[in-house]
Amino acid sequence: MDSWQQSLARSLTDPAAVAARFGLDDAAAALVASRYPVRLTPQLLTLIGAADDPVGRQFLPAPGELAPDALPDDPLDEGRLAPSPAIIHRYPSRVLLLAGNGCAAYCRFCTRKRRVGCAAYHLSFTALLDGIAYIAEHPAVNEVILSGGDPLLLEDAVLQEVLGRLRRIPHVGVLRIATRTPAVLPERITPALAGLLGRHAPLYLTTHFNHPRELAPAAAEACARLAGAGVPLANQTVLLRGVNDDADTLAALCDALLRLRVRPYYLHQLDPVHGTGHFRVPIEQGLELIAALRRRVSGLAVPHYIVDLPGGRGKVALTPASVVSLGEVAVIRSAAGELVTVPNAGR
């Protein structure tokens, strides 16, 4: 067993142990974890100081996850866009290849929280190969984004097999991997893995850091190792209440990322997923935060503020041109010119 696998095996997954360590209500934590699993890696256990701190809020089970709301389990309609279990095909020229269903740690705001870590959505290697066959049969696809779950929980040999098969498809030009491991399981970014990824260029890796505290020395070393192997890095941040919904935090995060050779790429408006209402930030506030960032950090450090429109209508940059009106619901103009309503948090 590799060191990163040993570290993963030492993760805290028992809700009673999590509740005892962080002063949570035992019964409430167990109830939430029975629906949405919890896993805290050794890295996270060093970062979380309290249940309500910016890292704890992201990973500890909270009663708000089971609060009644009108939000859907699948806001992006991914089920409709899945021609096979391992494929989500929303845009003609690119697809998501779901490389697994597990994560090193489970974000409480995840857009796929209905399925990650859930045995009913287990993805076999056969399903993964079927997904690759689907890509080979669709010549319009020129970019493949490995997502999940976390693709970097695959062992090196399996990951090499998957990337090699994709690279042998003539019409696939660009590969992208979306991963949380540099933040929550930095041990996974070994020299061997960095070299493997570097050999499959053009391959881009998208990290997920939401708060400066996550950029601990081990995470910074992981990013440096990837960048040193020639892997271009970009970061996606989710705008979250009580985590990063202030200009000081976002500026510190984006500036630190840029220093680590990680380009701040997206600031996501939180997808309207069932059980995430306690994380939502109004779009009005998000627009103000982006304006503040432009005044405070390098242009290279300002991410695109985007929303993924409900029903699988795609991503749209949130700008004065695309935001038609704001209130309890926001009206957003899609790339196709369609007016789409999006749930919006109140002030």
The one catalytic residue in 114, 115, 176, 315 is 315
The one catalytic residue in 74, 150, 245, 308 is 308
**Residue of 250, 232, 225, 243 whose CA lies nearest to 303:** 250
Active site includes 134? no
Active site includes 156? no
Active site includes 308? yes
Q: What is the DSSP letter of 64?
A: G
Q: How far is CA 257 from CA 182, 193, 239, 244, 278, in A?
A: 12, 21, 16, 14, 26
Active site includes 73? no
The one catalytic residue in 53, 69, 77, 91 is 91
Q: List 301's β-bridge partners, or say none.
A: none
The one catalytic residue in 110, 150, 176, 223 is 110
Tell me if 216 sits within 8 A of 254, measured CB to CB: no
Q: Are strands 233-239 and 143-147 parallel, antiparallel or unpaired?
A: unpaired
**Residue of 39, 49, 50 whose CA lies nearest to 10:** 39
The one catalytic residue in 106, 107, 245, 313 is 107
The one catalytic residue in 94, 165, 199, 333 is 94
Sheet of 323-325, strand order? 323-325, 329-333, 339-343
The one catalytic residue in 74, 150, 245, 271 is 271
* Tokens representing residue 172 in the block: 């696939």
Active site includes 347? no
The one catalytic residue in 36, 39, 74, 103 is 103
The one catalytic residue in 39, 112, 225, 263 is 112
Active site includes 91? yes
Q: Apex CA 55: angle with CA 42 and CA 155, to 5°?
A: 45
Tokens 């959505």 identify what position? 121
Tokens 């890509």 identify what position? 135
The Cα 233–Cα 316 span in angstroms is 22
- Residues in contact with 295: Cβ distance below 8 Å, sequence separation at least 6, in sequence order: none
The one catalytic residue in 90, 108, 176, 225 is 90
Q: Are strands 314-317 and 304-309 parallel, antiparallel or unpaired?
A: antiparallel
The Cα 44–Cα 33 span in angstroms is 17
Active site includes 254? no
Active site includes 110? yes
Report DSSP letters for 66-125, one per residue: GS--S--S-TT-TTTT-SBTTEEEEETTEEEEE--S--SS--TT-TTTTTTT-GGG---H
Active site includes 90? yes
Residues marked active site are found at: 90-91, 94, 103, 107, 110, 112, 271, 308, 315
